[in-house]
């Protein structure tokens, strides 16, 4: 069965609303005569057919840039017994591709000469990038006798089989526990990759033997562009036509959402070409952007003589993180505070009647984006229609377009960064965070200092920081498998600590932190119709009537732990909320719809985190 991004989508051929899975995987071909990757099946350089190169889906391959090549060389130098072996194994003058693959942390398939030669991955426990040879890479090692390798006398092997030293007829390289080693059968029937354990080799993966295909020449990236020129022209023409059609259809002002990354760079130039002028660019400074990105965006806008719409979250992340704790992949309060709300505010100010936002979204980036249509309305900015002209482009499409048109990408890509954005995002892998630490040590030390302080207050083990476990509230299974057993059930509570109980008609909420300030609480309780009666006893707030249920808790959180993100004010349909340290309610305007409660990321995530992100469980447990 093929693997890739499986997307559940409604099928028009059926009357029912049942969803069916669709496989999303970017096609990739290789020209064996020109030795270049192809985006389509025909080579534009020699006119011949390319062969389909099977890579791990979704196959969002990208060029190995200077920072990537530096990392790859370092991992190969660490793997092989000599530096000479590294350059016999890979000719770094040729185009090299990387393809992200599922691993416990950051990992790529390494593709050269139209073949997968191995995996470059970040070893979380050893805290370094490592290389594991595979397929054609193992064949090349065995053919050229590049240590480490072993030839064994067995007739066949299988995965997890352990080869004894007495069964090895030829061995080259240092025998080090945990080291990957290429394995060939003396009969020539099979090849494998194994790992050295004690006095044996444990087979990790095995396949029928193949040879390394040494393709001709040392093509350049200019050759790659020439081979794909027609394909790029067609992609460009389709995207430009799509933008023009949408502008005519929607008839609203247009702007480009510009992150400073490669995808938004290409999207901007496509939009500029379609319109015939430089469109405004919207940049959201989350307050945790890398300095190079902020300076790149500003210099780019100046060079293009374009209008910059600057959404600015300021210090809101650092204010909120002291209340909510570190964000996590399953606890992403930060997106609402430092991304969606500042963007919505900026757009509402500049385009009060709505607009078209051109975004650099691509379907091969994630399952969520693969499910997304090409045109949609964001629920946080309902007056804005988002369109994605490069939705069907792969990362290689994007990079070849950048090279072909001599566009200037963010220089961080050449320092080893693949994704840009919030530099401490929990969706980032440890291998990527290591790059942040190397390039911006002062920034990373600030975050580590916060994690150490927060972890100490929660009695978190040192592995919580060292292994990046703070990136999850509930640690997933693939990560648990590589952890010591004592960390299997590790749970570090975060967010606002409280207890809640129902006593007859009353609701009692006890806070473990914060100060109960009557002035703030009375102000926010104006969102309810009529007077809400309550009294305070120590750290407890006792509401006399629990009929408003968890909305009372949400109002309490909003009153005492406001981070001034202004999400509630932005979402209020009556414009009845002003933020000045905390929410101030205009009772004459308020319609008591309680949308402000459900719009507050601090209140919503406080409820979610209480019961493993399950609000219904909270409701049922307390009879609310």
Tokens representing 157 are 């092997």
What per-residue confidence (pLDDT) applies to 367? 83
What per-residue confidence (pLDDT) applies to 23? 63
What per-residue confidence (pLDDT) applies to 8? 44
Assess whether the region 53-208 and the region 221-412 belong to the same CATH fold: no
Q: Where are the domains of the chain?
A: 53-208, 221-412, 430-486, 498-622
First to last CA, the chain: 47
The answer to whether the bond into 148 is cis (omega within 30° of 0) is yes
Provide the β-strand partners of residue 579.
583
What per-residue confidence (pLDDT) applies to 488? 80
- As a whole number of angstroms, the distance between CA 267 and CA 407 comes to 12
Q: Using one digit for the tens of pLDDT, what is the confidence trace for 223-281?
A: 999 999 999 999 999 999 999 999 999 999 999 999 999 999 999 999 999 999 999 99
What per-residue confidence (pLDDT) applies to 201? 98
Fold exhibited by the domain 221-412 = Rossmann fold (3.40.50)
Residues 6+ apart with CB under 8 A from 385: 246, 250, 252, 354, 355, 356, 357, 375, 376, 377
- As a whole number of angstroms, the distance between CA 51 and CA 42 comes to 9
The answer to whether the bond into 58 is cis (omega within 30° of 0) is yes
CA-CA-CA-CA dihedral for 56, 57, 60, 62, to nearest 10: 0
Mean pLDDT by 10 residues, the chain (624 residues): 45 40 81 98 97 96 98 98 96 97 96 98 96 98 97 97 97 96 97 96 98 94 98 98 97 97 98 98 98 98 97 96 95 94 95 96 89 90 94 98 98 96 96 96 97 96 95 91 86 89 91 85 95 92 92 94 95 96 96 95 88 53 48
What per-residue confidence (pLDDT) applies to 330? 92
Q: Are strands 19-24 and 168-172 parallel, antiparallel or unpaired?
A: unpaired
Please answer whether residues 601 and 567 qualify as being in contact, where contact means their C-beta atoms are separated by less than 8 angstroms.
yes
* SS3 (DSSP) at 196: strand
Give the count of beta carbons closer than 10 Å to the beta carbon of residue 49: 13
Please answer whether residues 518 and 524 qualify as being in contact, where contact means their C-beta atoms are separated by less than 8 angstroms.
no
Question: Chain centroid to CA 511: how far?
Answer: 34
The CATH architecture that domain 53-208 belongs to is Roll (3.10)
Please answer whether residues 246 and 356 qualify as being in contact, where contact means their C-beta atoms are separated by less than 8 angstroms.
yes
What per-residue confidence (pLDDT) applies to 614? 52
Q: What's the pTM?
A: 0.92
- Residue 450, class by beta-carbon neighbours within 10 Å (0-12 exposed, 13-18 middle, 19+ buried)? middle
Provide the β-strand partners of residue 620.
none
Half-sphere exposure of 82 (CA within 13 A, CB side): 11
DSSP string, 64-130: --HHHHHHHHHHHHHHSSSHHHHHHH--TTS--EEEE--SSS-EEEEEETTEEEEEEEEETTTTEEE
Quick one: residue 590, left, alpha or beta (phi over 0 = left, psi -120 to 50 = alpha)? Answer: beta
How is the beta sheet containing 254-257 ordered, strand by strand? 308-312, 281-285, 254-257, 355-358, 384-387, 375-377
Q: Are strands 180-185 and 149-152 parallel, antiparallel or unpaired?
A: parallel
Please answer whether residues 38 and 97 qualify as being in contact, where contact means their C-beta atoms are separated by less than 8 angstroms.
no
């Amino acid at each position: 069965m093929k693997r890739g991004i499986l997307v559940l989508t409604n099928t028009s051929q059926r009357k029912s609303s049942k969803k069916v899975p669709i496989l999303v995987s970017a096609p990739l071909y290789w020209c064996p005569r020109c030795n270049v990757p192809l985006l389509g099946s025909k080579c534009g350089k020699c006119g011949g057919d390319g062969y389909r190169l099977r890579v791990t889906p979704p196959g969002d391959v990208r060029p190995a840039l200077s920072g990537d090549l530096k990392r790859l060389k370092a991992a190969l130098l660490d793997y092989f017994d000599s530096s000479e072996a590294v350059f016999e194994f890979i000719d770094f003058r040729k185009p090299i591709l990387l393809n992200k693959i599922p691993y416990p942390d950051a990992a790529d398939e390494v593709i050269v000469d139209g073949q997968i030669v191995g995996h470059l991955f970040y070893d979380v426990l050893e805290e370094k990038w490592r290389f594991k040879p595979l397929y054609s890479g193992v064949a090349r090692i065995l053919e050229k006798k590049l240590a480490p390798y072993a030839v064994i006398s067995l007739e066949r092997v299988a995965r997890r089989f352990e080869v004894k030293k007495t069964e090895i007829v030829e061995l080259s390289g240092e025998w080090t526990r945990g080291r990957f080693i290429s394995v060939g059968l003396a009969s020539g029937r099979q090849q494998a990759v194994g790992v050295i354990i004690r006095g044996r080799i444990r087979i990790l993966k095995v396949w029928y033997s193949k040879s390394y295909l040494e393709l001709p020449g040392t093509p350049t990236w200019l050759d790659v562009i020439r081979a794909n020129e027609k394909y790029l022209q067609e992609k460009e023409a389709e995207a430009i036509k799509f933008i023009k059609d949408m502008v005519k259809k929607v008839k609203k002002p247009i702007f480009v959402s510009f992150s400073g990354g490669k995808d938004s760079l290409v999207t901007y130039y496509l939009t500029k070409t379609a319109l015939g002028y430089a469109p405004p660019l919207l940049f959201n400074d989350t307050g945790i952007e890398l300095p190079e990105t902020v300076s790149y965006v500003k210099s780019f806008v100046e060079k293009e003589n374009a209008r910059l719409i600057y959404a600015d979250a300021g210090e809101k992340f650092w204010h909120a993180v002291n209340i909510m704790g570190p964000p996590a992949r399953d606890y992403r309060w930060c997106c609402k505070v430092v991304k969606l709300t500042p963007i919505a505010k900026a757009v509402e100010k500049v385009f009060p009647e709505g607009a078209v936002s051109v975004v650099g979204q691509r379907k091969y980036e994630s399952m969520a984006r693969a499910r997304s249509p090409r045109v949609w309305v964001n629920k946080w900015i309902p007056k804005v229609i988002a369109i994605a002209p490069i939705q069907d482009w792969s990362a290689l499409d994007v990079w070849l377009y950048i090279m072909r048109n001599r566009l200037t990408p963010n220089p961080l890509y050449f320092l080893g960064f693949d994704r840009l954005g919030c530099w401490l995002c929990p969706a980032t892998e440890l291998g990527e965070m290591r790059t942040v630490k190397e390039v911006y040590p002062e920034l990373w030390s600030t975050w580590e200092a916060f994690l150490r302080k927060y972890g100490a207050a929660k009695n978190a083990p040192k592995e919580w920081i060292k292994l990046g476990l703070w990136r999850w509230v509930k640690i997933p299974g693939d990560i648990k498998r590589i952890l010591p057993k004592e960390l299997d059930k590790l749970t570090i509570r975060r967010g606002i600590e409280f207890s809640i109980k129902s006593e007859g008609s009353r609701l009692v909420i006890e806070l473990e932190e914060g100060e109960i300030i009557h002035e703030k609480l009375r102000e926010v309780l104006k969102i309810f119709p009529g007077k809400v009666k309550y009294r305070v006893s120590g750290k407890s707030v006792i509401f006399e009537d629990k009929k408003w249920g968890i909305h009372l808790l949400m109002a309490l959180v909003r009153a005492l732990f406001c981070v001034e993100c202004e999400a509630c004010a932005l979402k209020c349909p009556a414009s009845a909320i002003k933020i000045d340290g905390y929410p101030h309610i205009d009772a004459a305007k308020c319609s008591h719809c309680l949308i402000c409660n459900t719009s507050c990321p601090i209140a919503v995530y406080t409820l979610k985190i209480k019961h493993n992100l399950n609000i219904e469980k909270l409701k049922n447990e307390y009879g609310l």
